[in-house]
């Protein structure tokens, strides 16, 4: 298999994640050629103008023809559909990666690709609440965990190439099984999103009675609700393709919230202090551990994780 530097890499979907990847690959000269495939013609012009790609097209066939690595960067269910579309037009030997936020359904679809194709699932754990090409930026992946979910058919060389790509843009590859990945991100990513949405709805209800609530809202609300501004379609795909794990996390959280409510309603200060103190310590320790690693680009994403296998 070619080293990354000799590969033509085609990124399908030039939103936040895909375009940021193109920018890094191109500006750092990490591969032979960077191609972007998007449905949006104005994005093509912009990507060219900003030198984010060598070649951009709305035509899928010409975008992937001859590419050594094809990276799908669309919402999860669009990845699943795109894999079906790509199936007959990919060259044997092509490495197919993706950047979707849930992995079980995508990896199952990857396994339906023709035998000559080398698929590997992936999920860079970074992003921001704004979506689209306009939000893309170089360095987005610096310091981020990048989960790789190889299939049984995925070769060692493909895993190495995917790891090389992740590391080349400053991310830290972690290899996990798809189902394990999905269970873990239900807790630390999908649950926070639902919480943030519920919080915004609750504050909106307050705002109906007294609009001053929006003027007082400061750092606590800002941070706790930030991910609620994330792209709805992206998260809808995530939730629907990770339903059981998300429901389980919601129920666990509901239990903790109910416990906090009961302690407060019963004025059981000792138990309330103990429960709050426990989460304070846990959160502070996590932050400290995270902060104790140096990150290459100012620490957007925290520590390089150790391999979780």
Q: Among residue numbers 153 through 182, which ones bind a second copy (CB under 8 A)? A: 174, 176, 180
Binding of a second copy by 280 (CB under 8 A): yes
- Quote the least distance from Cβ 225 to a second copy, whole Å: 6
Strand partners, 70: 10, 96
Crossing angle of helices 243-265 and 191-209, in 10° steps, is 50
Which residue, 89 or 276, is less far from a second copy as judged by CB? 276
Residues 12-71 that bind a second copy (CB under 8 A): none
**CA–CA dist 176, 185 (Å, integer):** 12
User: Using the rule CB under 8 A, which residue among 6, 51, 201, 297 binds a second copy?
Assistant: 201
Size of the residue set binding a second copy (CB under 8 A)? 99
Which residue, 11 or 125, is less far from a second copy as judged by CB? 125
Residues 213-252 that bind a second copy (CB under 8 A): 213-233, 235-236, 239-240, 243, 246-247, 249-252
**CA–CA dist 190, 118 (Å, integer):** 29
Instruction: Quickly list DSSP for 193-217.
Output: HHHHHHHHHHHHHHHHH-THHHHH-
User: Using the rule CB under 8 A, which residue among 88, 92, 152, 306 binds a second copy?
Assistant: 306
**CA–CA dist 15, 4 (Å, integer):** 23
Determine the interface stretch with a second copy among 53-61, 66-74, 81-89, 273-281 (rule: CB under 8 A): 273-281
- Are 89 and 64 a contacting pair, CB within 8 Å? yes
- Quote the least distance from Cβ 118 to a second copy, whole Å: 25
Binding of a second copy by 283 (CB under 8 A): yes
**CA–CA dist 242, 84 (Å, integer):** 20
Binding of a second copy by 136 (CB under 8 A): no
Which residue, 36 or 173, is less far from a second copy as judged by CB? 173
**CA–CA dist 270, 279 (Å, integer):** 15
Which residue, 212 or 297, is less far from a second copy as judged by CB? 212
Binding of a second copy by 276 (CB under 8 A): yes
Which residue, 62 or 258, is less far from a second copy as judged by CB? 258
Exposure letters 282-297 (e unless 16+ CB within 10 A, then b):
eeeeeeeeeeeeebee
CB-based burial label for 234 (10 Å; 0-12, 13-18, 19+): buried
């Amino acid at each position: 298999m070619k080293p990354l530097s000799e590969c033509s890499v085609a990124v399908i979907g030039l939103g936040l994640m895909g375009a940021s990847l193109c920018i890094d690959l191109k500006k750092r000269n990490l591969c032979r050629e960077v191609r972007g495939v998007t449905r949006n013609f104005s994005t093509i012009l912009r990507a060219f103008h900003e030198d984010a790609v060598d070649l951009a097209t709305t035509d899928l066939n010409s975008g992937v023809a001859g590419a050594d690595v094809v990276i799908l960067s669309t919402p999860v269910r669009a990845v699943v559909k795109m894999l079906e579309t790509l199936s007959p037009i990919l060259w044997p030997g092509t490495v197919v990666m993706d950047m979707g936020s849930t992995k079980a359904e995508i990896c199952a679809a990857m396994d339906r690709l023709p035998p000559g194709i080398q698929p590997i699932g992936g999920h860079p754990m970074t992003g921001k609440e704004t979506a689209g090409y306009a939000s893309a930026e170089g360095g987005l992946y610096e310091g981020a965990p990048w989960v790789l979910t190889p299939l049984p058919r995925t070769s060692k060389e493909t895993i190495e190439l995917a790891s090389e790509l992740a590391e080349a843009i400053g991310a830290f590859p972690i290899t996990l099984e798809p189902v394990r990945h999905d269970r873990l991100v239900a807790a630390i990513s999908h649950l926070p999103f639902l919480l943030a949405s519920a919080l915004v709805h609750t504050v909106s209800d307050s705002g109906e009675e007294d609009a001053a609530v929006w003027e007082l809202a400061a750092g606590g609300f800002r941070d706790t609700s930030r991910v609620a501004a994330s792209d709805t379609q992206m998260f809808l795909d995530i939730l629907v393709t990770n339903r059981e794990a998300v429901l389980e996390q919601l129920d666990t959280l509901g239990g903790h919230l109910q416990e906090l409510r009961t302690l407060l309603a019963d004025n059981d200060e000792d138990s309330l202090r103990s429960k709050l103190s426990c989460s304070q310590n846990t959160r502070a320790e996590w932050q400290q551990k995270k902060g104790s690693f140096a990150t290459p680009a100012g620490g957007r994403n925290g520590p390089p994780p150790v391999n979780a296998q």
